[in-house]
Amino acid sequence: MHQHFFFYLCLLLVIMLLVMLAQKIKVSYPIVLVLGGLGLSFIPSLPAINIDPELIFLIFLPPLLYDAAWQTSWKDFWKWRRVIASFAFPIVIITSAVIAVISHQLIPGFTLALGFLLGGIISPPDAVSATSILKEVKVTKRAQAIIEGESLLNDASSLIVYRFALVAVLTGSFSVGEASLKFLEVVVMGIAIGLIIGLVFYALHRWMPTTASIDTVLTFVEPYIMYIVAEHFHFSGVLAVVTGGLYLSNRSHVILNNVSRLQSVNVWQTIGFLFNGFVFLLIGLGFTTVVKAVSNNVSDAVKYGLIISAAVIVIRLLSTLGASVFTMFMSRFIQTADSRPGWRGPIVFGWAGMRGVVSLASALSIPLVLKSGQPFPHRELIIFITFIVILVTLVFQGLTLPWVIRKFGEPERDYLIPEHEQEAQVKSAMKNVALALLEKEYQDDMINNQLLKELKARLSNELEYVDGRHERSEEEALKNKTKFHDAFKHVIEVQRHKLQELNLKPEFEEEVIKKYVAQLDLEEEKLRQQFEL
């Protein structure tokens, strides 16, 4: 027990070092973690890593999907809902069908049912991979919204295809009509369960006397409850988590106060980072175990894996380009968010199809034997091919995605006002509404209340600065911004140092000092967000 605990502590340190290396060489950390895990897996004395699929599905997947849902813009998700839905469902089914045919023709003894099983496993781009890698590259708001939104939903569609294909392999029978009805039931009921449980937790946050700590713990419990309840009734746990997460995140300003929001964001950033790190490192660490399982025919297994990886990439590119053509055709009959999406954007969407944790867990959860007691056919080969597809798409496509974006990326077409101008307008609107409130509700109080006078003066000065930005050159504005940033940060550092001096004196309580240290920390964070250069 102690040895295992120490081993995982060492893995945690390895994750930190690899992430720091990724930041140093400016490469997305999931890629470096997978490659680092792959390198570590060849160390002879390292304990064998056997990845439990139930561990990934139950422990890792719900919070990672929930975190991704909270970070997704509901406004953008709804705007591009048709595109996201077309990518998340039809493309997954098309990919599964084409991979089924290719693998049936390519691999001796590989049936169509096994092909659909493999297709369902490797068809979905991974939400965790997409979210992590897109943070490191510059894409348009449209591309980010569509890629992240698609990756949240396609896990559900792929797992449903996987379930039906697995039943076909285990029983030897398959009904298209029955499968279609079951597919609809799994999707609709998964969404319904997510909404119902989301409403329950909405009521707890909104009307019960929660604290910031309770709110944070509840946000951690929510995805597990949604996932477990949906899966218990054999519906889509993934869709339940995504639906509930989107619903609650869109109402976070109502159900959480400022302290709860600050605390939960910080906690979730740490949790998401740790879970992401372990998942990607485990993908690399588990590779040698999979290689040993196909040791009798490694060369053929690698060939199959590379061919199917190439097929997955090509199918997705053709599908996204086809979706663009279909959108232009349908725009003649219905209103679409963009009637002329072009071809550049779909190429970026197509290339951002990295596979990851869901594909890995699905492959590993294939049963060892059939109902007849016979070994499950080609189980080790399916797992090996899945590992190859994950490595190729995550590493190759992940590393080349920045180049593809530079080569084929489009300029921002949806948010035509530059970000700094949007910020100026938002700040101006906030200052104006605040000053109007003071003038209307607190005019008499400001006569004798110096604090209110100072608040009004501060708001007026800030408004004058924001509204006057267009009158100054960008160079002068940047110079003033830099000087203010440096001076304000210097002031905070001096104040923090003075607090530590006061803390050494016996007449000051440490709790009082800590209170003002926390206030300075909030001021510095506010400074970072408002004036980050």
pLDDT in tens, 422-459: 777 777 887 888 888 888 888 888 888 888 888 888 88
Residue, of 468 and 118, whose pLDDT is higher: 118
DSSP 21-87: HHHHHT--HHHHHHHHHHHHTT-TTSPP----HHIIIIIIHHHHHHHHHHHS-HHHHHHTHHHHHHH
Residue, of 398 and 15, whose pLDDT is higher: 15
DSSP 73-136: -HHHHHHTHHHHHHHHTHHHHHHHHHHHHHHHHHSTT--HHHHHHHHHHHSSPPHHHHHHHHTT
Angle made by CA atoms 71, 354, 127, in degrees to the nearest 5 = 25
Per-residue pLDDT band for 484 (boundaries 50, 70, 90) equals confident
* pLDDT at 55 (0 to 100): 73
Q: Rounded to 5 degrees, what are φ and ψ at 22?
A: -60, -40
pLDDT in tens, 47-72: 766 666 777 778 888 998 898 888 88
pTM of the model: 0.81
Give the whole-angstrom CA distance, residue 496 versus residue 518. 10
Mean of pLDDT over the chain: 82
Q: Which two tokens stand for residue 171?
A: 């029983």
The torsion of the CA quartet 334, 335, 339, 345, rounded to 10 degrees, works out to: -110
Q: How crowded is residue 125: how many other Cβ atoms within 10 Å of its Cβ? A: 30
Residue, of 106 and 131, whose pLDDT is higher: 106
Long-range contacts from 166-169, C-beta under 8 angstroms, 24+ separation? 166/117, 166/366, 166/367, 168/113, 168/116, 168/117, 169/111, 169/113, 169/114, 169/117, 169/370, 169/376, 169/377
CA 376 to chain CA centroid, nearest Å: 33
* pLDDT at 194 (0 to 100): 95
Highest mean pLDDT among 107-116, 164-173, 327-336, 371-380: 107-116
* pLDDT at 48 (0 to 100): 66
CA 155 to chain CA centroid, nearest Å: 12
* pLDDT at 131 (0 to 100): 65
Per 3-state DSSP, the chain is made up of helix, strand and coil in percentages (nearest 5) of 80, 0, 20
pLDDT in tens, 370-423: 777 788 888 889 888 998 999 899 888 888 888 888 888 777 776 666 766 777
* pLDDT at 468 (0 to 100): 64
> Is 2-408 assigned to CATH 1.20.1530.20?
yes
* pLDDT at 105 (0 to 100): 92
* CA atoms in the 13 A half-sphere facing the CB of 428: 13
Q: What is the mean pLDDT of residues 319-339?
A: 72
Q: What is the mean pLDDT of residues 330-343?
A: 67
Judged against a pLDDT cut of 50, whether residue 533 lies above it is answered with no
Q: What is the mean pLDDT of residues 348-364?
A: 82
C-alpha distances out from residue 415 to 122, 141, 187, 425, Å: 34, 8, 33, 14
Which among 248, 250, 223, 251 is positioned nearest to 237, based on CA atoms? 223
Per-residue pLDDT band for 75 (boundaries 50, 70, 90) equals confident
Question: Residues 109, 377: contact at Cβ < 8 Å?
Answer: yes
Q: Which of 7-11, 159-163, 211-215, 529-533 bottoms out in mean pLDDT, i.e. has the lowest?
A: 529-533
* pLDDT at 439 (0 to 100): 84
Give the whole-angstrom CA distance, residue 160 versus residue 124. 11
pLDDT > 90: what percent of the chain? 16
Give the torsion sign (CA, 431, 436, 441, 444): positive
Which among 220, 142, 193 is positioned nearest to 415, based on CA atoms? 142
pLDDT in tens, 215-231: 999 999 999 999 999 98
Reduced to 3 states (helix: H, G, I; strand: E, B; else coil), residue 375 is: strand
Per-residue pLDDT band for 191 (boundaries 50, 70, 90) equals very high
Q: How crowded is residue 420: how many other Cβ atoms within 10 Å of its Cβ? A: 11
Highest mean pLDDT among 165-174, 225-234, 424-433, 501-510: 225-234
Q: What is the mean pLDDT of residues 502-531?
A: 80
Judged against a pLDDT cut of 80, whether residue 91 lies above it is answered with yes
The torsion of the CA quartet 56, 62, 63, 68, rounded to 10 degrees, works out to: 110
Going from N- to C-terminal start, the domains of the chain cover 2-408, 419-471, 478-533
Q: Where does 256-353 have alpha helices with state H?
A: 258-285, 287-293, 298-330, 344-351
Give the total residue count for the chain: 533
